[in-house]
C-alpha cells in the first residue's frame, strides 16, 4: 500500500465527482477523513450527508468555509463549469502559492484558471470519471509548470487511489473527456438499450439487467485480461451467418459505431466550448 498522505485537502464543490474521490481516498486509507473537508455553495443537507457518511469536516458557519479553504494544502475545484466563474473569482483572495490546486472541471484550462485567480499557482488539471466511486476510475492529469515534483506525486497518489492514472499533455485533456470522462454514460446508454431489448423479448427487467451487467463486465475484463483487441474478441463471438452477425448488421445499418465516434468527438468539442464560455480569449 502507498504511504498515506499527511496533507489537508478541501473539496470546493461537493457533488458526485467530489464524493467519488473522497470515497476512494478514505477506502484506500490514502487520507484520514479528518484531513478531508468539503464546502459547496448552499446545499447544507448534502454536506451533512457527506460528513455523516465519511466523517469528513464540513463548515459549521460561513466563516469556516474560508478557513477550510485557506488552511488546505490541496484545494480541489469540483463545481460545474457554469458555476466556476463566480466561485473562482471569490476564491482568489483565499488561495496562496504553497497550495496545490486540482481542477476536475471539464474544459477550463490551467491558463484560464490562473487568469481567473489573477495569479500563478501550481495547478493540476484532471479529467476523472464517476467509476472512481468504486476504485475503477480512469483519470488523466496534466500539470502547470508551477507544480513541484512532490505535488505531482500527491496528485498521482490521489487519483491512483480511485483507479488508473494517465499523464497527458494539456492539449489532449478534452479528448480524454470525450473518451473516459463522459464515457461511463455511453456504456450505461448501451446497457439501457440491451435491457430494454431483453424486456421486449419477454425477460423480466431483473433478469435482463443481471445478464446485461455481467455481459458488460465480462467483455471489459476479457479485453483487459486477454490483451486482445476488441475487434478480435468481437470476431470470436461472431459466427458467420449466425445471430451476432445478424445483430451487428442491423446496428451497422443504424451507423452505431459512427454515432459513438461522433459522440466522443462532440463531448471533446463541448469541453472546449465550456472553457471558451469562461475564457473568451482562448483561441482554440
Ligand atoms: N460527473 C461526472 O461524471 C464528471 C464530472 N467532472 C467535472 O466535475 C465537476 C463537478 O461535477 P459533478 O460532481 O457532476 O457536479 P454536481 O452538480 O454533482 O456538484 C457540483 C457541486 O458544486 C457546488 N458548487 C456550485 N457552485 C459553487 C460555489 N460557488 N462554491 C462552491 N461550491 C459550489 C454545488 O453546491 P450546491 O449544491 O450547494 O450548489 C455542488 O456541490 C464539473 O466541473 C464536471 O465537469 C469531471 C469528470 C466526470
Ligand atoms: O458531462 C459533463 O460535463 C461532465 C464532464 C465529463 C463527465 N461529466
Counting ligands in written order, which one lies closest to the CA of residue 75? 1
Last residue of a domain, one of 147, 175, 203: 175
Q: Is there a single domain that holds both residue 193 and residue 157?
A: no
Q: Is there a single domain that holds both residue 95 and residue 219?
A: no
Mean pLDDT of the chain: 95
pTM of the entire predicted model: 0.95
pLDDT at 137 over 80: yes
Q: Is there a single domain that holds both residue 134 and residue 204?
A: no
Q: What is residue 92's predicted lDDT score, i.e. its pLDDT?
A: 87
Q: Is there a single domain that holds both residue 249 and residue 136?
A: no
Residue nearest to atom 7 of ligand 1 (CA): 105
The tens digit of pLDDT for each residue in 65-122 reads: 999 999 999 999 999 999 998 888 888 899 998 999 999 999 999 999 999 888 899 9
The tens digit of pLDDT for each residue in 40-51 reads: 999 999 999 999
The binding site comprises 12-17, 78-81
Is residue 78 within 6 Å of ligand 1 at its C-beta?
yes
Q: Is there a single domain that holds both residue 227 and residue 168?
A: no
Residue nearest to atom 16 of ligand 1 (CA): 15
3-state helix, strand, coil in the chain (%, to 5): 60, 10, 30
Is 31 a domain residue? yes
Is 276 a domain residue? no
Would you state the cell numbers that stand for residue 190, as one nine-digit string?
Answer: 448501451
Q: Is there a single domain that holds both residue 89 and residue 220?
A: no
Q: Is 88 exposed, middle or buried (0-12, 13-18, 19+ CB in 10 A)?
A: buried
Is 191 a domain residue? yes
Residue nearest to atom 19 of ligand 1 (CA): 15
CA angle 137, 48, 58 (to 5 degrees): 80
Q: Which of 7, 10, 65, 3 is nearest to 30 (CA)?
A: 3
For residue 137, report the phi and psi dihedrals to the nearest 5 degrees.
-70, 165
CATH number where 103 lies? 3.40.50.720
Distance 135 CA to ligand 2 centre (A): 18
Domain around 190: 183-266
The tens digit of pLDDT for each residue in 181-198 reads: 999 999 999 999 999 999
Q: Is there a single domain that holds both residue 113 and residue 229?
A: no
Q: Is there a single domain that holds both residue 58 and residue 162?
A: yes
Total structural domains within the chain: 2
Read out DSSP for 31-89? S-GGGEEEE-SS-HHHHHHHHHHH--B--SSHHHHHHHHHH-SEEEE-S-HHHHHHHHH
Is 3 a domain residue? no
Distance 182 CA to ligand 2 centre (A): 5
Q: Is there a single domain that holds both residue 55 and residue 148?
A: yes
Q: Is there a single domain that holds both residue 164 and residue 193?
A: no
CATH number where 261 lies? 1.10.3730.10
Q: Which residues line ligand 2 (CB under 6 A)?
A: 106, 177, 181-182
User: Which is the closest atom of ligand 1 to the Cα of 41?
Assistant: 38
Counting ligands in written order, which one lies closest to the CA of residue 15? 1
The tens digit of pLDDT for each residue in 221-271 reads: 999 999 999 999 999 999 999 999 999 999 999 999 999 999 999 999 999
Reported as half-sphere exposure (CB side, CA atoms, 13 A), residue 158 has a value of 31
Residue nearest to atom 29 of ligand 1 (CA): 87
User: Which is the closest atom of ligand 2 to the Cα of 185?
Assistant: 7
Is 230 a domain residue? yes
Amino acid at each position: 500500500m502507498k504511504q498515506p498522505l499527511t496533507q489537508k485537502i478541501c473539496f470546493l464543490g461537493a457533488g458526485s465527482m467530489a464524493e467519488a474521490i473522497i470515497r476512494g481516498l478514505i477506502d484506500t486509507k490514502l487520507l484520514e477523513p479528518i484531513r478531508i473537508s468539503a464546502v459547496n455553495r448552499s446545499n447544507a443537507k448534502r454536506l451533512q450527508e457527506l460528513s455523516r457518511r465519511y466523517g469528513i469536516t464540513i463548515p459549521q458557519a460561513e466563516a469556516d468555509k474560508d478557513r477550510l479553504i485557506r488552511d488546505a494544502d490541496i484545494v480541489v475545484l469540483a463545481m460545474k463549469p457554469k458555476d466556476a466563474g463566480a466561485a473562482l473569482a471569490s476564491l482568489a483572495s483565499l488561495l496562496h502559492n504553497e497550495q496545490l490546486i486540482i481542477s476536475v472541471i471539464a474544459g477550463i484550462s490551467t491558463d484560464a484558471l490562473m487568469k481567473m485567480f489573477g495569479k500563478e499557482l501550481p495547478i493540476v488539471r484532471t479529467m476523472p470519471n464517476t467509476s472512481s466511486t468504486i476504485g475503477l476510475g480512469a483519470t488523466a492529469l496534466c500539470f502547470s509548470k508551477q507544480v513541484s515534483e512532490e505535488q505531482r506525486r500527491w496528485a498521482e497518489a490521489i487519483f491512483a487511489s480511485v483507479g488508473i492514472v494517465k499523464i497527458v499533455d494539456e492539449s489532449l485533456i478534452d479528448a480524454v473527456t470525450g473518451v473516459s470522462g463522459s464515457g461511463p454514460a455511453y456504456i450505461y446508454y448501451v446497457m439501457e438499450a440491451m435491457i430494454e431489448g431483453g424486456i421486449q423479448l419477454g425477460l423480466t427487467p431483473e433478469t435482463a439487467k443481471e445478464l446485461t451487467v455481467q455481459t458488460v463486465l465480462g467483455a471489459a475484463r476479457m479485453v483487459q485480461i486477454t490483451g486482445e483487441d476488441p475487434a478480435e474478441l468481437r470476431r470470436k463471438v461472431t459466427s458467420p451467418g449466425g445471430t451476432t452477425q445478424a445483430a451487428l448488421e442491423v446496428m451497422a445499418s443504424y451507423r452505431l459505431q459512427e454515432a459513438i465516434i461522433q459522440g466522443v468527438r462532440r463531448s471533446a468539442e463541448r469541453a472546449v466550448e465550456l472553457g471558451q464560455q469562461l475564457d473568451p480569449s482562448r483561441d482554440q
